[in-house]
Structure 1
Amino acid sequence: MREAVQPKYNKVKATCVCGNTIETGSVMSEIRLDVCSACHPFFTGTQKIMDTEGRVEKFKKRYSKPEQK
């Protein structure tokens, strides 16, 4: 393996938006995450819906079953 061609592998801290930090290895100098295992809905069991334009309500209104009498 030629040393001049290979990138330098460093220990870095990956920082999430929620404040959680994870130590890992990477060729990058710094890693910033949007979602990590501490704040991801799959791991936490909570659901966060970012609905800025009313898309969820529009979808529910369009595809909901009509009430039966």
Structure 2
Amino acid sequence: MKKDIHPEYREIVFKDVSSDFEILTRSTMKTDLTTTYNGKEYPMIKLDISSASHPFYTGKQKILDTEGRIEKFKKKFGSHYASLGKKK
């Protein structure tokens, strides 16, 4: 490998700010933030969402009801919009 062309590969803490979940891993990302993890100080990257807070992984996923969407539209707007598309 060539010297001085590769980014620094180091241990870093990723912290999910919505659930206070932290994970220690290795990365080349740069940051000025630091945190203490298991008694040692590491650079930290803040995350908005992770597997600890994502609805798909936590089981709090909302399932949308797609049945009756056309009927709801017709009930709300009537046949007025249907007649606009027809040419006489």
Q: Same fold, TM exceeding 0.5? A: yes
| Greater fraction of residues in strand | 2
Partner of 1:35: 49
Runs of 5+ in structure 2 lacking a partner?
32-43, 63-69, 77-88
- Structure 1 distance, partners of 2:2, 2:27, is 19
Within 5 A, what are the aligned runs for 1:8-19? Answer: 8-17=8-17, 18-19=19-20
Deviating beyond 2 angstroms after TM superposition, the runs of 4 or more aligned structure 1 residues are none
Structure 1: tracts of 5 or more residues without a match: 49-62
> How do 1:1-69 and structure 2 match up within 5 A?
1-17=1-17, 18-28=19-29, 29=31, 30-47=44-61, 65=72, 66=75
- Report % sequence identity: 40
Larger radius of gyration: 2
TM-score normalized by the length of structure 1: 0.63
